[in-house]
Amino acid sequence: MGFGSDDGYATHEVHNQAAVLADYNAFTGDLALQQAIALFDGGWAEAGLIKCGALTGSAHVQGLARMADRNRPELRSHDRFGNRVDEIEYHPAWHELMAGLRGSGYHSLAWKGQQPGAQVARAGVSYLWNQAENGVCCPGAMTFASIGALKIDADLLARYQEKILSNGYDPRPVPAEEKESLGVGMAMTEKQGGSDLRQTQTSARPAGPNSGPGAAYLLTGHKWFFSVPASDLFLTLARTDKGVSCFLARGWLENGERNHLLIQRLKDKCGNRANASSEVEFRDLHAVMLGEEGRGIPTILEMAHLTRLECAIASAGIIRQATSQAINHARTRSAFQRRLVDQPIMENVLADLAVEAEAHLWLAMRAAAALDNAEEKALNRIITPVAKYWICKRAPLAVAEALECHGGNGFIEEHLMARLYREAPLNGVWEGAGNVICLDVIRALQKPEAAGAVLDEIALARGAHPALDASLGVLSDRLARPGELEADARRTVEQLANALSASLLLRHAPNAVSEAFCATRLGNGAMALGTLPKGSACAAIIERAAVAAG
């Protein structure tokens, strides 16, 4: 028996440490998710979602996520002979996660087969993967969303679509023609402005005699943020005589050369560390004009509208994971002779987190459903930025609260809560930060059909709760004067989000959840989480939210 052994020399017995939440099925263990998927016509995808839920809830994937996050990607600018290669070296865990994510159809499910509920089914996959590892979700999201912009050019779409939608994963740095599957990125943000893309400095000149949509150009300039610079294809913006235009560029040219893109360095980020985000320079980058010349911002917004939806789904997934972890912790740890979950204040905090998580799930899935339904174009236009703003805004608050439920262990990097905490603000920044998204909502509300669509959706639960009726009245008045909305935009968007969630919960969730939500989110509730009114059915709410076995 050596001196270092615990046997005989143990100073203490390890007990009352919470159980690990791992090797569960994140889909079958989530009642509300299953209900939302079925209600919004995604039921046909159930078998795939069950498989995805088993994968994303597995201890194996949790381990990969930790490894990918701790072993950050590195820039390999030159090979050993001094030739410029501009490649990214990832830990093997990244590649295994990427293969799993693409295998689940994260990027493709919405576009294959065009079944009703396809966006909802894909949103379900995204919701699950965003509970596992968020770095890989970035390339998955951009590849999914690229189809929105590529649809503008039938030739380019026909050329690349099949490989973009392949569920395989091929990270080799070779031309698209040699690959079975392709990943797509987007590089818009420059140093002088990411929100105001009209400030784009990168310039484009025709590479040959032709110009305009579909013609070849050479781009010179820089991009200050470019995630996944190892993408096979990427959309970017550059200025021509007619203004800012959109371009599609390849990572590797047909002759096998790296396109003329120099990765200057990788960003040292607060979160999303498994994923490489870079600063790049374009030196006569080969690219093809996508969409109308001078209309590059509306063209790329076709992609950004989808990545904004993705931010909403992703943040809802992050909040769900944080809530699941907090409930698990509080159920399996005791203090002052009682399980934490049985301490009244903690029970209120957990129930409030569960209400928060379920509200965001329904809002995000409703936004995905609106995208599925061609008749809901007006609702789709507005519900996506509303969901993006509010769910992303709430994620840091909810994750911090869930972290606190874990005590000190939640702050330690061995626990996934610490990673979630670093990740939580990001969806609120990229794809349009909060104010910019609110401005987008206000812009959409200038059209009476958008305001009408969102009010109609809220009104589907009219009469179900007095607080919702009151909120609907306030919003109807305010939206009737669209010219006065900007200064008060955040309040309006927040109220729209909460009224939409209340309407959804009143129609589709148990009374305990909807009542707690309406009582605290529609009126003048307290500011912190854990402030559900006395008499709320906290135990029932927690029971519904706890990850079920199976």
Ligand X SMILES: Cc1cc2nc3c(=O)[nH]c(=O)nc-3n(C[C@H](O)[C@H](O)[C@H](O)COP(=O)(O)OP(=O)(O)OC[C@H]3O[C@@H](n4cnc5c(N)ncnc54)[C@H](O)[C@@H]3O)c2cc1C
Measured distance CA(281)–CA(258) in Å, rounded? 13
Q: In this chain, which of 433, 459, 464, 537 binds ligand X, going by CB under 6 A? A: 433
Measured distance CA(282)–CA(250) in Å, rounded? 12
Closest contact distance (angstroms) between CB of 266 and ligand X is 11
Closest contact distance (angstroms) between CB of 437 and ligand X is 8
Beta-bridge partners for 87: 76
Element (H, E) at 141: helix 137-150
272 near ligand X, judged by CB under 6 A? yes
For ligand X, which stretch binds (CB under 6 A), given 191-199, 204-212, 381-389, 392-400? Answer: 191-199
189 near ligand X, judged by CB under 6 A? yes
**What tokens were used for 85?**
């290669």
Measured distance CA(141)–CA(67) in Å, rounded? 21
Q: In this chain, which of 277, 315, 348, 492 binds ligand X, going by CB under 6 A? A: 277
Closest contact distance (angstroms) between CB of 439 and ligand X is 6
DSSP string, 277-336: EEEEEEEEEEEEEESSTT-HHHHHHHHHHHHHHHHHHHHHHHHHHHHHHHHHHHHH-EET
**Among residues 259 and 272, whose Cβ is nearest to ligand X?**
272
Q: Which of 255, 259, 205 is nearest to 232 (CA)?
A: 259
Q: In this chain, which of 183, 194, 385, 396 binds ligand X, going by CB under 6 A? A: 194
Q: Are strands 243-250 and 233-240 parallel, antiparallel or unpaired?
A: antiparallel
* 281 in Cβ contact with 221 (< 8 Å): yes
199 near ligand X, judged by CB under 6 A? no
**What tokens were used for 198?**
């009209």
**What tokens were used for 354?**
């569960």
492 near ligand X, judged by CB under 6 A? no
- How many residues contact ligand X, by CB under 6 A? 24
Measured distance CA(208)–CA(64) in Å, rounded? 47
227 near ligand X, judged by CB under 6 A? yes
Q: What are phi and psi of 498, to 5 degrees?
A: -70, -35
For ligand X, which stretch binds (CB under 6 A), given 4-12, 225-233, 337-345, 529-537? Answer: 225-233
- Using CB positions, name the residue nearest to ligand X: 194
**Among residues 44 and 225, whose Cβ is nearest to ligand X?**
225
> 31 by DSSP, 3-state: which?
helix
Q: In this chain, which of 214, 225, 264, 373 binds ligand X, going by CB under 6 A? A: 225
* 218 in Cβ contact with 285 (< 8 Å): yes
For ligand X, which stretch binds (CB under 6 A), given 156-164, 181-189, 334-342, 531-539? Answer: 181-189
Measured distance CA(68)–CA(84) in Å, rounded? 26
User: What single DSSP character describes residue 532?
Assistant: P
Dmax over CA atoms of the chain, in Å, equals 84
**Among residues 40 and 430, whose Cβ is nearest to ligand X?**
430
Closest contact distance (angstroms) between CB of 247 and ligand X is 13
**Among residues 184 and 547, whose Cβ is nearest to ligand X?**
184
Q: In this chain, which of 64, 123, 150, 187 binds ligand X, going by CB under 6 A? A: 187
Amino acid letter, 454:
V
Q: In this chain, which of 17, 199, 210, 435 binds ligand X, going by CB under 6 A? A: 435
Q: In this chain, which of 128, 186, 246, 363 binds ligand X, going by CB under 6 A? A: 186
Q: In this chain, which of 430, 444, 521, 546 binds ligand X, going by CB under 6 A? A: 430
144 near ligand X, judged by CB under 6 A? no
**Among residues 195 and 511, whose Cβ is nearest to ligand X?**
195
Q: Between residue 343 and residue 382, which ones bind ligand X under the rule CB under 6 A?
A: none
> 76 by DSSP, 3-state: which?
strand
Q: In this chain, which of 188, 312, 349, 395 binds ligand X, going by CB under 6 A? A: 188
Closest contact distance (angstroms) between CB of 185 and ligand X is 6
Measured distance CA(322)–CA(463) in Å, rounded? 33
56 near ligand X, judged by CB under 6 A? no
Positions in the binding site for ligand X (CB under 6 A): 185-189, 193-196, 225-227, 269, 272, 277, 426, 429-430, 432-436, 439
